[in-house]
Amino acid sequence: MIAALYIRVSTTDQAEKGYSLETQLSENRQKASELGATAFVEFIDDGYSGEYIDRPALTQLRDGLERREFDIVVIYDPDRLARNLAHQLIITDEIEKSGAKLLFVSVTFEASPEGKLFYSMRGAISAYEKEKIKERTTRGKKGKARQGKLVNNGRCFGYDYDKVNSMYIINEDQAAIIRQIFDLCIKDKMGTALISKELNREGIPAPRGNRWIVSSIHRILTNTAYRGVIYSMKHKSTKTGFNTRTIETRPESEWIPIKVPAIVDEITWHSAQKQLQSNKDLAKRNLKNDYLLNGLVCCARCGRKMTIKHSGNSNNPVSYYACLTQVSTSYMYLENDKCTARRIPAVILDELVWDKLHELAENPELIDQYAQDIGNPIATAKIKNTLVKLKDTEKKISTQKETIMRWFRQQIINGSDAEKQLDEINKQLIDIEVTTKRLNDELNFLTSQTSPADIAMNLNKYFKDTQYYSEEERKIAMRAVLDKVNVERIDTTYAKNSKPEFTIDLKFL
């Protein structure tokens, strides 16, 4: 008589119920021997959950059953076979169809209606216990998170983990790298590709000791931990097989915020998010018309933006920068407001400006002509007026915040409602703070003077070694040094192959 012995154990099973491999093997062999088995074939799934039917040893056993290789199948307990009742019934049916007999060590199984009912009930109870364990684990994690403790050590770069208090501690060496990444993004307006290139050039070690890559930079810049908050219960992970799982984002109302030491302030973090979005909007794959100066060119005649317009054969069109008044439908019926400036060939202007920036980088003494006062009274007054309005709005929202806190103390509203409203108000206040900082920076920019030394330093940084720049890196370099390009075509020729002439006024950051 040939006996198939199936043994399965997972780490939790061994810890909680003593279902060790040795125990199951010993008991299964003894049971098979008592029944007269003369040969044993062992199938062992070590470390596999009984929640899924796709297990290596179980698959081998089922293949053997299909070939009718066994007389009896011995298993220590029904939940060793499967935790899922449907899976138990499927495998039991396969055993019966092969002509083998199913036997358990811990319980008596009879192939009768009553025995099958009892077996089914055991399977249902096993599945219920599994769900209870999962629910109890999740409840424990939520309770820990609500106490302000980290549920586990996520090994977040920039922090060390305090096991005693379940909290992160800032690692100053790594935190300095994180602050540098935020500075490169915000102050130097670098994209993730250029930041990783700069860190690798400086020989700064990446989190795992290898070279920096774009995805690592993006994860750091978008990680809320660095502004002082980690959200527990944000994602729900569901296993769909032994090596597969799906991850879903829970509704925001279920997230539990945990305060951790901040490495950058709120304004810096939100400024980085805005810069990332700006970089994304200007990225090559997201631009319908991909030109170096797209978004920077302004009409020198009327001061409005210039945008791309195509002309000629659709298979080989010629692209131009055209004044917005000649392109936008907003000016369709406003003939008097349409600018008469001529269109600018896009490719020619892009290369002219690129070459000019290279020339200035190589010859910084030529920069003096661009170090001019860039004051703009109209724009300055507009920004100041906006700042006053923002201040008034901030006062009103702060009053709302105080009212909600008073209502909570008076028990007019419960803690959950108060927390939800306060979180929304705090987001608005942070947004106002970020906008105020940006407008103040613009105000300082409008009322200050760009020094030749600052321009030279910026040009030297981005235009000294551009030989291997990708097209996206060339665009980023342009936007890192230029605020705008005022241009007007001044030649009077209209022939197809005529050489255009321009007046170009570069405005530097």
Task: Judge whether residue 65 has pLDDT over 90.
Answer: yes
Kindly report, residue by residue over 223-272, the tens digit of the pLDDT: 999 999 998 888 777 665 556 667 888 887 778 888 999 999 988 898 89
Q: Quick one: which of 136, 112, 135, 107 has its CA closest to 122?
A: 107
Q: What are 425-443's pLDDT values in tens digits?
A: 887 887 788 778 777 776 7
Is residue 171 within 8 A of residue 158, CB to CB? The reply is yes
Cα–Cα distance for residue pair 233/248, rounded to 1 Å: 11
The yes-or-no answer on residue 10 being catalytic is yes
**64-78, 124-138, 202-216: which has the minimum mean pLDDT?**
124-138
| 491 three-class SS | coil
pLDDT in tens, 463-475: 877 887 888 888 8
pLDDT in tens, 150-170: 988 888 999 999 999 999 999
pLDDT at 220: 95
Q: Give the range with max mean pLDDT: 143-157, 348-362, 381-395, 417-431.
A: 348-362
Count CB-CB contacts under 10 A for residue 229: 15
Distance (Å, whole) CA 471 – CA 291: 9
Of 444, 439, 437, 390, which Cα lies nearest the Cα of 265? 437
Q: Quick one: CA dihedral 225, 257, 189, 196, positive or negative? A: positive
Work out whether strand 306-311 and strand 318-323 pair parallel, antiparallel, or are unpaired. Answer: antiparallel
CA distance 385 to 391: 10
382/17: higher pLDDT? 382
Most confident of 69-73, 230-234, 328-332, 393-397: 69-73
E strands within 368-479? none
pLDDT of residue 70: 95
**For residue 291, what pLDDT is reported?**
83
Count CB-CB contacts under 10 A for residue 219. Answer: 14
The whole-number pLDDT of residue 5 equals 95
Least confident of 65-79, 166-180, 237-251: 237-251
Where residue 125 falls among pLDDT bands split at 50, 70, 90?
A: low
Model pLDDT, residue 283: 58
Going from the C-alpha of 460 to that of each of 99, 189, 504, the distances in angstroms are 82, 15, 21
Report the residue count for the chain: 509
φ, ψ (nearest 5 deg) of residue 19: -80, 65
Active-site hit among 10, 20, 120, 166: 10
Q: How is residue 205 annotated by DSSP?
A: P
Tally Cβ neighbours within 10 Å of residue 296.
23
DSSP lists the bridge partners of residue 42 as 5
Q: Structure tokens of 485?
A: 């390009």
Phi then psi for residue 399, to 5 deg, are: -65, -40
**Rounded CA gap, 345 and 309, in Å?**
10
Q: Which amino acid is present at 324?
A: L
pLDDT (0 to 100) of residue 287: 47
pLDDT digits (tens, 9 = 90+) for 371-401: 554 455 666 777 788 888 888 888 988 898 8
Note the pLDDT of residue 377.
Answer: 66
Tally DSSP H helices, then E strands, for the chain: 15, 16
CA distance 32 to 10: 23
Residue type, 302: C
> What is the C-alpha separation between 45 and 58, in angstroms, rounded?
7
Look at residue 6 and tell me whether its pLDDT is greater than 90. Answer: yes
Q: What is the pLDDT of residue 374?
A: 45
CA–CA distance, 230 with 216 (Å, rounded to integer): 18
Query: What are the structural domains of the chain?
Result: 2-139 (3.40.50.1390), 159-282 (3.90.1750.20), 297-508 (no CATH)
Residue 106: pLDDT above 60? Answer: yes
Distance CA 361, CA 355 (A): 10
Indicate the Cα dihedral angle 349, 355, 357, 360, nearest 10°: -130
Task: Say whether pTM exceeds 0.85.
Answer: no
**Structure-block tokens of residue 142:** 């939520």
Which residue, chain included where needed, has tokens 């306060």? Answer: 422
DSSP codes joined into one string, 319-362: EEEEEGGGT-GGGTT-GGG---PPPEEHHHHHHHHHHHHHHHHH
Instruction: Band the pLDDT of 352: cuts 50, 70, 90.
Output: very high
Q: Tell me: pLDDT of 212 over 80.
A: yes
pLDDT at 188: 83
